[in-house]
Structure 1
Amino acid sequence: MCTTTQYELCEEIGRGRFGTIYRCFDITTNEIYACKIINKTVLTDSTDRECLQNEPKYMTLLSPHPNILQIYDVSQDDDVLTIVMELCQPLTLFDKIFQNTLSEPQSASVMVQLISAINHCHRLGVAHRDLKPDNILFDSMGILKLGDFGSAEWFSEEKMMSGIVGTPYYVAPEILMGREYDEKVDVWSCGVILYMMLVGIPPFYGDDAVQIFEAVVRGNLRFPSRLFRSVSSSAKDLLRNMICKDASRRFSAQQVLMHPWILSRGETS
């Protein structure tokens, strides 16, 4: 049950790991939003509870940014957490990739928006740490909106991050190796997302999570000719600099934004 009388719930439009998402409208303005309702009583894991508190905290801090999902209202009681946020299209970037690979200009358009959001986060000292196509949404105008900040963490030059978080296929090798790490783990994940947009499969894979993680730790980036025959050398150069096992040599988000392929919006001569 919604914990505020300002919003009226409509139909269910999705289910996430922690709760159900409904379309709703503000009865005072008739504006349409999405409303995520989480039943806190079913959460027994302390990590899950921390994720729930992280999401509204970080998303509020990072707003407004044109490519970060905006939160409009948060309320909770002992049993329920309610987050009112902007309404997006039902299809995520994962759905778009599953339907078909994207052209280089289409991929560049997505990457410019995603990296702009990540660069904004990093400038404020926040790392997302769970970037994947499933967390990348689009509003009614097709503008990218980054969501799901449940695994986000503070970092600084004096404070590295630690802990194994993320999702198979997209997680950076230094996380899996148990080392302290910096915000460039997000750039690795963005590189994997770009690879998938261009050719439809991840660069590192296996039959199960263990095999996937082993492939990620090896970090042997390849460009099979049957898949990359029509992909430009500039796009492959950017991928090498993003999916770079040596984090000290890996591009920062700002460097990605300055790469020729990004500046040309994927238009190759």
Structure 2
Amino acid sequence: MRWNLATDRLGYFSLICEMQHQDHLLVTTRQVKHAWADGPKVAVQRLEDADDSESEVSEEEDVSDEESSEEVDDFDCLCLHRFHFSTSSGSSPGPVSFDCESAQQLADRAVFDLKARGDMAGCRKVYTVIKKSEMEITGDGVSCKVRVQRAEVAIAELEEAIFVVTLVPEGAKGAEWCSRTERAQRAAKGVEGWIFTCGSDRLHDFLTKISYAGGIRSGLTNHYHMFAQGKQGLGAFSFVACAAEMKTDRIVAIKNLKLQVNPITIFKEVDMLRAGQGHPNIVRFHGLWADSTPSEQSKGGKQWYMVMDYFKCDLYDRIVEGRRLREKECIPILHNVLAAIAFLHQRQIFHRDIKPENLLVDTSARVVLTDFGIACLVTEQEELKRVVGTVGYAAPEMLAGTATSFEADEFGAGIVLYFMLSKSTPFLAPTTAKTIEKTMEGKVNLRYGCFDHISEHCRTMIYGLICKDVAARIKAHEALRTAYMMSRASMTEPVLDSIPQVQPKKPQGNLPNVMEVSEPSDKLGCATQGHLPFLRKK
């Protein structure tokens, strides 16, 4: 089956259960056997059907079942501005260039021209298709493609029901986000972009799709109200605030990047997040915004924001402020985490920071993976050698700078399972250095009282995931295919303590800038590991 985003929130596990009920022969049952040799090794063995009549489901098919269909959005409500045709000399029109410094100035210039002429003569209706990071434009004498990703987007009102939308792609005379000097040089030559007119009834939808495709907009506070309770999450390079979209009243999360963060770093995070879109357990991206700021601390003269889906709390706060979870409550959540990881790995994405703080709680049995700030492609071998991650959750190979693939994500998932059951982590120590030392040893202790109630299958899963030997560590797609995970993950949602609903206060007019510098001395995140559980007597 293929996911439909409109049905994601109906419940991932109810869909899994429905698949098994309707056609159980499509599901390959596996069993994990845990053995001890030189270290913990996990052997995943297939249990064949009695009649051996069905073929094996491939790993690729397993993951693609959870993937939504590729999003393609088309619009027949746009007109291409007459500027494109007055300078095209009969050939298919291309971008137009004027002595404007930005997409906004280009939009204002286009509005002035149309108002001065008093009509829309010369503008031609076109048909546009937005697919991934590109927009295809077709129409009478028009056939071209425009790259939307990292393009500067601006709007200007022409009249009550019509707006002008400009799109300035990256390029020699396009959007420049990194250097004030280079931006000034390009502005002197004039930016080059595309100019459309759009009816007000379709404007919001069109801009929403442009943002999702990677276009960079400005004027965030003209479109969102941030709630007065302000910061929902604070990190080393950003804070996350709750806001409401003025047009739809939809509640979103806005990640406010600190001024010192290089736009290139922001672009990479957005690229990784966008590449991971299409799965119900990965946070939905809604757009990147950049507003001008006079602060000299900003590398490109911009204050950057990322807009994403909003969730009430993360798994870390949920556990710390509540209680430990029982095994039957943990397994559906673990299934969510492993499903997201398997989906990312199929797309060659290595998240590198799987931890409870990066798992947003939607329901008692559904979490959503977020924060792609240090994610990378597994093909970037030099990047894999960087020592990054969060101490206490990072795998030994990440701490040693010897990672060659993305198995460290499964290691983090195992730590999350351990944390849900115990409110602690297996390598908790008084200092960061000692925690790293214990992680490198890789000894997992399940002799605490909080683990008395868990099954042998659960113990096997913990040992299989939190495994020092990368070759023996169980992979996400293998774990998802075990009979244990498949039977437990489709259970009815457990009942947790009630999760408090956010009661928005009076909106604020402006989002605050983050001025202070708090860049860590190394690339390792801070350890948030909980408290050591009660140790069971021998």
Residue in 2 that maps onto 1:22: 241
Partner Cα separation in structure 2 for residue 196 and residue 162 of structure 1: 27
Partner Cα separation in structure 2 for residue 157 and residue 239 of structure 1: 29
| CA deviations over 1:62-89 (Å, ceiling 9, x no partner) | 1132111111111124321111111101
Structure 2 unpaired stretches of 5+ = 1-217, 292-300, 492-538
Greater shift after overlay, 109-118 or 8-17? 8-17
> Is the Cα contact below 8 Å between 1:23 and 1:33 reproduced in 2?
yes
> Is the Cα contact below 8 Å between 2:257 and 2:305 reproduced in 1?
yes
1:131 to 354, 357, 370: 354
Partner Cα separation in structure 1 for residue 460 and residue 379 of structure 2: 28
Shift of 1:262: 1.2
CA 257–233 in structure 1, closer or farther in 2 if over 3 Å, else same: same
Residue in 2 that maps onto 1:3: 219
Partner Cα separation in structure 1 for residue 435 and residue 467 of structure 2: 17
Length-normalised TM-score, structure 2: 0.46
Shift of 1:156: 4.1
How many residues are aligned here? 260
One-letter identity of the residue aligned with 2:276: L
Residue in 2 that maps onto 1:54: 268
1:85 to 300, 308, 312: 308
Structure 1 unpaired stretches of 5+ = none
Shift of 1:111: 0.5
Provide the aligned C-alpha RMSD in A. 2.3
Residue in 2 that maps onto 1:259: 482
Q: Does 1:72 align with 2:286?
A: yes
> Is the Cα contact below 8 Å between 1:24 and 1:35 reproduced in 2?
yes
4+ runs deviating over 6 angstroms: 157-160
CA 9–207 in structure 1, closer or farther in 2 if over 3 Å, else same: same
Length-normalised TM-score, structure 1: 0.88
| CA deviations over 1:148-184 (Å, ceiling 9, x no partner) | 1101010149888221111111010111223133110
Alignment of 1:1-269 (within 5 A): 3-4=219-220, 5-11=222-228, 12-17=230-235, 18-40=237-259, 42-43=260-261, 51-77=265-291, 78-89=301-312, 91-98=313-320, 99-139=322-362, 143-156=366-379, 161-265=384-488
Shift of 1:19: 2.5
CA 255–159 in structure 1, closer or farther in 2 if over 3 Å, else same: farther
Shift of 1:225: 4.8
Q: Secondary structure at the match of 1:108?
A: helix
Partner Cα separation in structure 1 for residue 287 and residue 242 of structure 2: 14
CA 76–221 in structure 1, closer or farther in 2 if over 3 Å, else same: same
Shift of 1:58: 1.4
Bigger radius of gyration, 1 or 2? 2
Partner Cα separation in structure 1 for residue 361 and residue 369 of structure 2: 8
CA 22–225 in structure 1, closer or farther in 2 if over 3 Å, else same: closer
CA 212–58 in structure 1, closer or farther in 2 if over 3 Å, else same: same
Q: Secondary structure at the match of 2:311?
A: coil
